[in-house]
Structure 1
């Protein structure tokens, strides 16, 4: 009896030791995976000296820098003492010091302390870089502004009318004549088919709007129709100088937006601009995930290890929860990398502010070194004929947000999101039953053009979200592709950090980058 009890105790003790050893081994392995990822960035990522375009130092009156929300004089030039203190606060990163920034009105600056946030997965935001923005006096900056004036003039024209409407035809003609316009062209010319579009092949094929912003969204046990509230035609703001100056000083919007009571499918730049006015971040990833998942196994990338398994189905790993997690988790690190660049590196002025510089230069109130291609443009002239000022008409009642322009936050988070989507799904898969919105935005009609692929429509979605706010007057073209590529770097870093966490035999995620290269992570 005693020997039996003793053997039982020995067996229990042996099991406990084995369980402890296995648990300890698991703990060590988990530690190694995490520490190896951290050491990778410590050893292999160089210390970066981030560079901006030099405008902040070039102009003592800071006319080429973002200053909205701080106090300004009658020309809309910032109070230098207030700006200098603002810079000192940004440099220190002291949380309490941010409460001492001198504002010009009631509008607050949007989250500058996010530029100091750390991440536990993927690269640190300060370890990523993007090219400098075009300088204030450059031809490229002037040409970007010409495009923005045309986008404001044409924001109520349906995309399907671009080939026939005199305004969009004039816009394409003038943009073709500019010496440093970076938008897509055909044989060196901007056409109504390439007007205001992104530069990747997918963004240029088929309708202007991605299928993922039109098709019904399968959601739990129902479908969501993608008709959204938008503002009414000609609902444009900050076209009077008094209103413009008031919002530079941080005042509340002087005139409210007027909303269309009928929700509509996105059919013009106003609708798209209002969509990206109201989205936050991960909605733009959730929508395509839910649509793509409804297409079944065929839509998954061939690298998925469960597509060839005869005994197992994907779920927690390489299945819907995995996709949803990675798509959503990419958004905030993307925004953190954008906010670091916005507040601590570039501080580029918004198009709304640039429009004030153009107005004061043409009227003779000031003499800023702005390239003549925008000052003498048909777009600016037509704007004056319509509004009596040379200010850039804004679609949003408040104008631009109170954070710097470069890079575009929407561009970075959608770049990260779309990279994740391309990693999980088959880019060559053809979207079934493609659609196109009617000119009144009330219906979806069948689209009978060339086949539209997942990869192409994801690239198009990226540009719709990244430069959709250009049509509202709050971002420049150069912020599109540079922001998308910054978001892509964020997503690649996250994918790399998770590479060793899978038990499955997996060769890595493969996808096409925004510059057309094939990447495997």
Structure 2
């Protein structure tokens, strides 16, 4: 992250020393890393992380806990043996084979029965799908911020207004999955959906939502209630919480403007954004067939929960490359492995626009641009941030929260709605309360839950004559329509990898580039050097320039960076595999990881430098290095400790 300017922000000797430190495995280097960590202001910060307690509240059924790939009964309730053994093995793997090699329980299928369905290809059977990296968080690193200094707050509980609103919003996203974002801003359908959601206590500013026990919201939940924009309207529907997310088009310019490779150069791409000296990324996606959703059949849903690998059953692609135009298009990004490619593209665009570096990196106007060495440092720093953010999210997933994916919560609503609530054991009362609260998503001319019940329940896999034998009859279908045949990934929902990476990488971009004037006025895209702003034409095959309030002289650079982070993190919600709180909290955890990494590296500078950025919550945060081996973080209006733990429950006093 060391942008080299003519002033020599980082000397060649310091750069070589840093590289040597990164690759050496000697004990002296480990000690040096520990000393460096102690020199930054995060060394004394340790946070307490805990789950929401539902594992103990609902023993034996665990309806809100991750159990995908384990054995479930006909009602979708995970078996006690497979659930307990799985998480015991996650904590302390103990099995070995005859050769002494470790074989944990999750190295082989936990479900050994036959699946109810099979692939559409003749003569083939579904294989078993393994879990994704349950050990990733065990890796030890001598880097800041340390693993115990970042955390996620407890997830919303079953029966709360918050969780009911999250699931209602996911149902609404699925219902509008093929409506273009531009049409969504004005259409009657989106107006009906916004009006229905607005009647829920969580979305109505005139009502007072409560937790599962009927108590006032905690500060954690109150923070999550924050959205950008006034009230819930077609313009603000499904937007994020940060400044600028509700302004203009839904999709960030950094997900529309990019560079096609030489063999795929398209006339649809704006000329000035079509060539980069570094990095090539085509922002278009291959169109998926509209109207094709999955896991709306109980037998198919159950097979996927038991671990059937159905990923190859995806409906045929249309074959056309298009720009992101609909929620289904954005959901496509959630089905791709989390990476930093969109943020590398954003960096390449900003460099191509000649956007100036942060004021604190150089006060001389003619020196506030990156040379080739500075560009390489920026891009490598984005990759490093993405790697650490990904590792942190996995630690929260398996070690602490083990939150079930939304497709499982849809089954809970199905059981209650069809008279099988008793199968949920101790969770029945809260599950019934949850379904009752879902029913409040209704207006005079539209009922969201009835719309989902009436949605297509087509079978997507091949069924045998016994597919429905011994399975409950679901006449009112509240299974969540998901965009992928495999449903969610094979790891818990919270934290969200895409969102944590988005929070970290966008924070790095804000720190490196000048997003505000000296008086803290947000800089417009035009002032940042953008040639124009665009939206997809109908069909998504081409872009058209925006006008009026959607133009580049109105949209802000900071807002479009916030929008990039929110788009990427909410893509999982569009696909039906994440909740809003996954996005909200994980973005902010990623932000803190990036701030810690920036502080760590600012301590290596040989001169006084600063970086200033506006956080996702609207704070102005400054990271400075004193040129003598230490750094400082200052937050406007509050202490670093208060900002660092803002989205967590009250922390124990040291």
TM-score, normalised by the number of residues in structure 1: 0.88
Rounded to whole Å, the distance in 1 between the matches of 2:51 and 2:183 is 39
Residue in 2 that maps onto 1:53: 52
The change in CA–CA distance for 1:260 and 1:68 in structure 2 (over 3 A counts) is: same
Q: Does 1:425 align with 2:513?
A: yes
Residue in 1 that maps onto 2:394: 339
**Alpha-carbon deviation of 1:500?**
2.2
The change in CA–CA distance for 1:348 and 1:222 in structure 2 (over 3 A counts) is: closer
Q: Secondary structure at the match of 1:510?
A: strand
Residue in 1 that maps onto 2:78: 78
Residue in 1 that maps onto 2:438: 374
**Alpha-carbon deviation of 1:442?**
1.1
Residue in 2 that maps onto 1:350: 405
Cα deviation code 1:9-57 (max 9, x no counterpart): xxxxxxxxxxxxxx9xx99x98886342233589943554421111111
Verify the 8 A CA contact 2:228 2:245 in the aligned structure 1: no
Root-mean-square deviation (CA, aligned residues, Å) is 2.7
The change in CA–CA distance for 1:449 and 1:225 in structure 2 (over 3 A counts) is: farther
**Alpha-carbon deviation of 1:507?**
2.6
Rounded to whole Å, the distance in 2 between the matches of 1:98 and 1:171 is 49
Q: Structure 1, unaligned stretches of length 5 or more? A: 1-22
**Alpha-carbon deviation of 1:308?**
5.2
**Alpha-carbon deviation of 1:323?**
1.0
The change in CA–CA distance for 1:513 and 1:46 in structure 2 (over 3 A counts) is: closer
Q: Does 1:236 align with 2:330?
A: no
Q: Does 1:264 align with 2:308?
A: no
Residue in 1 that maps onto 2:611: 509
Rounded to whole Å, the distance in 2 between the matches of 1:208 and 1:360 is 35
Verify the 8 A CA contact 2:228 2:244 in the aligned structure 1: no
Residue in 2 that maps onto 1:202: 244
Cα deviation code 1:370-407 (max 9, x no counterpart): 22121564222111112352100000111001100111
Q: Computing the radius of gyration over CA atoms, which structure comes out larger, 1 or 2?
A: 1
The change in CA–CA distance for 1:193 and 1:55 in structure 2 (over 3 A counts) is: same
Rounded to whole Å, the distance in 2 between the matches of 1:91 and 1:191 is 45
Residue in 1 that maps onto 2:344: 286
Rounded to whole Å, the distance in 2 between the matches of 1:446 and 1:277 is 29
Q: Secondary structure at the match of 1:336?
A: helix
Q: Does 1:276 align with 2:276?
A: no
Q: Structure 2, unaligned stretches of length 5 or more? A: 1-16, 22-27, 97-101, 113-127, 204-224, 260-274, 423-427, 442-446, 458-476, 517-522, 624-654
Question: Which deviates more, 90-99 or 437-446?
Answer: 90-99
Verify the 8 A CA contact 2:144 2:596 in the aligned structure 1: yes
The change in CA–CA distance for 1:493 and 1:224 in structure 2 (over 3 A counts) is: closer
Q: Does 1:364 align with 2:467?
A: no
Question: Which deviates more, 377-386 or 348-357?
Answer: 377-386
Q: Secondary structure at the match of 1:123?
A: coil
Count of aligned residue pairs for this structure pair: 492
Residue in 2 that maps onto 1:3: none
Cα deviation code 1:236-279 (max 9, x no counterpart): 00111111011000002284233121111000100010023225
**Alpha-carbon deviation of 1:123?**
1.5
The change in CA–CA distance for 1:307 and 1:195 in structure 2 (over 3 A counts) is: same
Rounded to whole Å, the distance in 1 between the matches of 2:369 and 2:455 is 61
Q: Secondary structure at the match of 2:548?
A: coil
Counterparts in 2 of 1:12-31, with a 5 A limit?
A: none
Residue in 2 that maps onto 1:448: 547
Question: Which deviates more, 102-111 or 285-294?
Answer: 102-111
Residue in 2 that maps onto 1:408: 496
Verify the 8 A CA contact 1:41 1:123 in the aligned structure 2: no
Aligned with residue 325 of structure 1, among 380, 385, 388: 380
Residue in 2 that maps onto 1:104: 111
Residue in 2 that maps onto 1:6: none
Verify the 8 A CA contact 1:358 1:375 in the aligned structure 2: no
Rounded to whole Å, the distance in 1 between the matches of 2:581 and 2:369 is 43
Q: Secondary structure at the match of 1:471?
A: helix
Q: Secondary structure at the match of 1:343?
A: helix
Verify the 8 A CA contact 2:614 2:621 in the aligned structure 1: yes
